[in-house]
């Protein structure tokens, strides 16, 4: 199995270009990030070219302090679309293939309609990019609009855009739903990216409720060839947290 270092959590004490170099030196196959916007895209692109790593994904900005995305917030459509457009421009500048459009804290039919319209905007504005939506768990992100894979599947199927996909974060979906083996199998056609972390502590993927040897073998058997996102919170220096990597890479 191949792995992508999520630089929102791994080496997040470094500037993004240096974090990319650290991930390459540690043997990761790709990188991904959360919010790279305070870093010059030229410097990020240079680090990617130097290391040969691809940046798999980045997120739309969360908004004001306390917010967690804007794209499902009624009345905030102009800001949401500006952030989507900013993310698309940044992704294009660094050769990044996917954008996670963050919904935000909202509920109800008006929020759903706004989220659908903003996703439609994102998919049309960047047909060459994958637009990702990610259910988040209710403990970490109480009140977040998107919480379940079934909800994401309905958004994706009714949107009718080939480039709208599910971010299957095993950490969030284990907390909300469980039954991950069957969910990976059933949802494979709409999965655009997979992320992993231990449940419930969001630590290294070598302990906790989930056996990632089994999850990775399931992905392998499904023909999943893309890097899986290591989106866990290291305790201490990231370089000391990589003991899980050789065993899962061997799958």
- Residues in contact with ligand LJYKPCYY by CB under 6 A are 34, 59, 100, 134, 169, 172, 195, 231
- Cβ atoms of 177 and 196 within 8 Å: the answer is no
Which of Mg ion, ligand LJYKPCYY, none does 204 bind, CB closer than 5 to 8 A by kind?
Answer: none
Angstrom distance (rounded) from CA 49 to CA 78: 34
Q: Copy the structure tokens of residue 250.
A: 């061997």
Torsional sign, CA 167, 173, 174, 177: negative
Question: Which of 169, 196, 210, 219 lies at the binding interface for Mg ion (CB under 5 A)?
Answer: 169
Nearer to ligand LJYKPCYY (CB atom), residue 4 or residue 218:
4
Q: What does each C-alpha distance from 130 to 61, 146, 192, 193 come to in angstroms?
A: 17, 18, 7, 9
Which of ligand LJYKPCYY, Mg ion, none does 121 bind, CB closer than 5 to 8 A by kind?
Answer: none
- In what helix (H) or strand (E) does residue 92 lie, and over which residues does it extend? helix 77-94
Active site residue 107: no
Closest by CA position to 154, among listed 133, 139, 180: 133
Q: Decide: is 195 part of the binding site for Mg ion (CB under 5 A).
A: yes
Nearer to Mg ion (CB atom), residue 21 or residue 156:
156
Active-site choice (32, 54, 83, 134): 134
Closest by CA position to 234, among listed 11, 80, 2: 11
Nearer to Mg ion (CB atom), residue 83 or residue 231:
231
Active site residue 231: yes
Which of ligand LJYKPCYY, Mg ion, none does 34 bind, CB closer than 5 to 8 A by kind?
Answer: ligand LJYKPCYY
Which residues bind to Mg ion, rule: CB under 5 A? Answer: 169, 195, 231
């Amino acid at each position: 199995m191949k792995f992508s270092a999520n630089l929102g959590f791994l080496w997040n004490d470094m500037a993004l270009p240096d974090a990319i170099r650290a991930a390459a030196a540690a043997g990761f196959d790709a990188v991904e990030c959360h919010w790279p916007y305070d870093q010059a895209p030229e410097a990020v692109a240079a680090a990617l070219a130097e290391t040969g790593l691809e940046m798999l994904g980045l997120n739309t900005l969360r908004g004001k302090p306390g917010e967690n995305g804007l794209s499902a917030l009624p009345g905030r459509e102009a800001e949401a679309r500006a952030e989507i457009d900013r993310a698309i421009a940044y992704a294009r500048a660094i050769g990044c293939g996917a954008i996670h459009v963050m919904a935000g804290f909202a509920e109800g039919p008006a929020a759903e309609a706004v989220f659908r319209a903003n996703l439609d905007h994102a998919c049309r504005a960047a047909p060459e990019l994958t637009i990702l939506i990610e259910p988040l768990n209710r403990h970490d992100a109480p009140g977040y609009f998107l919480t379940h894979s079934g909800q994401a599947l309905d958004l994706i199927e009714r949107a009718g855009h080939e480039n709208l996909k599910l971010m299957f974060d095993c950490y969030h979906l284990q907390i909300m739903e469980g039954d991950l083996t069957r969910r990976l199998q059933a949802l494979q056609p709409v999965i655009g990216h997979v992320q992993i972390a231990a449940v419930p502590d969001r630590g290294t993927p070598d302990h906790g409720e989930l056996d990632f040897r089994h999850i990775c073998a399931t992905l392998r058997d499904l023909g999943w060839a893309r890097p899986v996102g290591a989106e866990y919170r290291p305790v201490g220096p990231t370089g000391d947290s990589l003991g899980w990597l050789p065993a899962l890479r061997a799958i």
